[in-house]
Amino acid sequence: MGGTVAAVSRNEDYSFTKPNHAGITLLAGLGVEGDVHAGVTVKHRSRVAVDPSRPNLRQVHLIHEELFAEVGQGGFQVAPGDLGENITTRGIDLLGLPTGTLLRIGDDAVVEVTGLRNPCRQIDRFQNGLLKRVIARDEAGEIVRKAGIMGIVARGGVVRPGDDIRVELPAGPHRPLAPV
């Protein structure tokens, strides 16, 4: 089971979107080198306001490229980096992975999946109405968050578009993803 890297993005400044790059460097235990969200403790402003000493379980944000086509059917134009992700993937059901899954990316990098991104109002500031497209309800009425997953860097390395992503599931029983 696996896929590929469609794009990589990072931003040294706080902004919702992140520009694409030819490559990014993942740093073990920290995140994306040169990205505002890199660090051992939380860096997302909303989480820093609550408790700046909490561990950073959101070092790397990954989104499946297939989401862009899905929201495009509703008239929204979204491209890699637009929703603030660091790695845009192709061919992997990110939302279906269990907590603790290892994503082996390129030659060296390993990202451990920690949970779901909890979409926020900034998505509607980016494109009005988009938030309703990345949050839905399933048949049982449960909330489905589609805006990607979060992870920590277990092993550093350079990640580039076109790199293979190999999925290594954790030993069972599997824990479903929850917002982090």
What is the overall mean pLDDT for the chain?
96
Could you tell me the two tokens for 117? 């991104």
pLDDT-derived band at 131 (thresholds 50, 70, 90) equals very high
- Sketch out the chain's domains with CATH numbers: 2-158 (2.40.33.20)
- Residue whose entry in the numeric block shows the structure tokens 């907590």: 99
More confident residue, 1 or 81: 81
Residue 5: its pLDDT value, please? 98
pLDDT beyond 90 at 44: no
% of the chain at pLDDT higher than 90: 90
CB 100 within 8 A of CB 17: no
Q: Provide, rounded to the nearest whole percent, the portion of the chain with pLDDT above 70.
A: 100
